[in-house]
Amino acid sequence: MKKIPWSGYVTLLIVIILFISSSMPYEEQSLKPGLSRYLNLDFVERLRFISFDYHGEVSVAALGASGFVEFFIRKAAHVSIFIVLGIALIDLTIRLLRPYLLAGLFAYTVAVTIAVFDEFHQILTGGRTGLIQDVLLDGTGALIGIVLYFSFWKKKTKKHLVRI
């Protein structure tokens, strides 16, 4: 029996975290009360000139200071968790598939599929919406993770070859 690599455990952990997170209504996850209570958000007022559409207007005027900051925290969480998922999936996949381009494509496809199912699960949760923009953001995070893995892995391999 083969030993499960670290990346298998990380992938499973992320899928569980995503499932639990997608099962929670927005009100249970809201960061706004804590942001308002524990942080001085006066600096956000200087960002009133920023306004764009992301399933509704994103601006200080539309969301308030705490909502504006929360938006960026939530989107950064999307990207960062999928960076880690991308790294874990490519490490897991590269052990099974060659050539590496095929492994990268497969890992990316699995990450985007997880993102799609996560957004679909959110649609089934009260007070939540599934957004194609979030799938694109998640896919970008996974792609960054895969590229980072290959960048580090190539350097590690070159160093190993030099020592031999």
pLDDT in tens, 147-157: 999 998 866 65
Task: Give the global pTM.
Answer: 0.88
Average model confidence (pLDDT) for the chain? 90
Q: Can you state the angle between helices 132-163 and 60-94, rounded to 10 degrees?
A: 40
Q: Where are the beta strands (DSSP E) in 6-142?
A: 51-53, 57-59
pLDDT in tens, 111-140: 999 999 999 999 998 888 899 999 999 999
Percent of the chain with pLDDT over 90: 68
pLDDT of residue 164: 42
10-18 long-range Cβ contacts below 8 angstroms, 24+ apart: 10/84, 10/85, 10/87, 10/88, 11/85, 11/88, 11/89, 11/92, 14/81, 14/84, 14/85, 14/88, 15/114, 17/81, 18/81, 18/114, 18/118
pLDDT average, residue stretch 97-124: 94
pLDDT of residue 160: 45
Confidence of residue 14 (pLDDT cuts 50, 70, 90): very high
| Residue 60: other Cβ atoms inside 10 A | 20
Q: Residue 18: which of 106, 138, 149 has the closest Cα? A: 138
pLDDT average, residue stretch 52-79: 94
Confidence of residue 95 (pLDDT cuts 50, 70, 90): confident
Judged against a pLDDT cut of 50, whether residue 161 lies above it is answered with no
Least confident of 36-40, 43-47, 89-93: 36-40
- The secondary structure of the chain in percent helix, strand, coil, rounded to multiples of 5, reads 75, 5, 20
Helix, strand, or coil (residue 98): coil
16-24 long-range Cβ contacts below 8 angstroms, 24+ apart: 17/81, 18/81, 18/114, 18/118, 19/118, 19/121, 22/118, 22/121, 22/122, 22/125, 22/128, 23/121, 23/125, 24/125
More confident residue, 45 or 108: 108
pLDDT in tens, 21-38: 999 988 888 888 888 888
CA distance 94 to 102: 9
pLDDT of residue 159: 53
